[in-house]
Structure 1
């Protein structure tokens, strides 16, 4: 076998192996998704007296400076303490929204690539539901959202709610309200996902203080 043929054979084998691995991972993720996670509903009971505001999908706006962001996070931490909630810290590498969602769905933020892949698939397959909220060429938006490290926005949150049949509850640092609920369109939610969201820059995964996981994460958080 020539060197060129040998290289082609190895390349083909590598491609098949990669494809097989992705297929196996998709099966694993699919299995996990069929297992309902209802722990979030207990959090909902703690905040049932709060009014939520309607969610409007939108792309990311202006990012605040570090000082304002720090103040906003302090405000959020006070709110969390009031309701007996705590943040599971998510790595701030640009994938925090998808990592936080993965932690809520799979109890493992490392599944963020699969969450992003599913969200982009939702955006692509149901373009008419989302393109009106995107102030740019939609193909470019999809191309951007495929990239690891690209920040998620409120459009991807809506797509995630729709894709995973989930009510996504955001406890925020916003002054006018602290609760935003994103519900799936045209279907009753089968699970609740709880995230903290502060200063338009970072998402963490929320738990009751007594249920906060002690698993280790990479020590790379926004502002830290």
Structure 2
């Protein structure tokens, strides 16, 4: 009986510590996002005006499709490049290591792609805690999907984009290489967006972070070393 009580107490303490740590992480993220929002909201608004006349197709969260063959991928990339040039947008090239969606989101959120691990962690937590919102779009056991998405190098999909929009209260603006549409808006489900995140999407292949031409950051990205210690 005593042993059971100790185990239960330890488990309860561990759960409380985990919950407290998650809450602290949320506060840290909120603080950083507030800092970035003050410095970048004007620029984000300018980007929105460039594509304000375009119709956005309804966003349906989905897992990744098949990677196109070389010829189709080349045509898709040319189509995307042309669209970006037309609207005066330039890509910050993101490393193609399987983490590109999370790296691009981290750049838009924190001005540093290196924080992709933290973005992935928060997105997976959103997927876990709001399971009913997402599991209907996952064509596999949901627990297996979560386990898979936790892994570094696992490609993000349109489900993780929706979770990111929901978690960060962000409108994610996706300029794509799709033939039938060049622009997708992903909106948070239960609240109004407080920020815009701009990504390019070379369909089923790669994500980059978008800026207005001439506004792409140069030099070393911002580093907040204390953030690394929180996660």
Q: What is the TM-score of this pair, normalised by structure 2?
A: 0.81
Alignment root-mean-square deviation, CA:
1.9
Tell me the distance in 2 between the aligned counterparts of 1:45 and 1:27.
Answer: 31
Matched residues, number: 197
Matched with 1:60 is: 64
List runs of 5+ in structure 2 lacking aligned partners. 1-21, 222-231
Q: 2:146 corresponds to which residue?
A: 142
1:212 Cα shift? 1.1
Is 1:151 the counterpart of 2:155 in the alignment? yes
The structure where helix makes up a greater share of residues is 2
- Which secondary structure state, in structure 2, belongs to the residue aligned with residue 148 of structure 1? coil
Secondary structure at the aligned position of 2:199 is classed as strand
- Pairwise CA distance, 1:41: 1.7
In structure 1, the residue matched to 2:102 is 98
2:115 is the alignment partner of 1:111? yes
Name the CA shift for 1:146/1:128 in 2 (closer, same or farther; >3 Å). Answer: same
Q: Which residue in the other structure is 2:73 paired with?
A: 69
Shift of 1:186: 1.1
- Find out whether 1:124 has 2:112 as its counterpart: no
Shift of 1:71: 1.8
> Partner of 1:31 in structure 2?
31
Tell me the secondary structure at the aligned position of residue 214 of structure 2.
helix
Runs of 4+ that moved beyond 4 A: 22-28
In 2, the alpha carbon distance for the partners of 1:108 and 1:27 equals 19
* Whole-angstrom CA distance in 1 between matches of 2:61 and 2:26: 27
Give the corresponding residue for 2:82. Answer: 78
Aligned counterpart in structure 1 of residue 181 of structure 2, from 154, 177, 181: 177
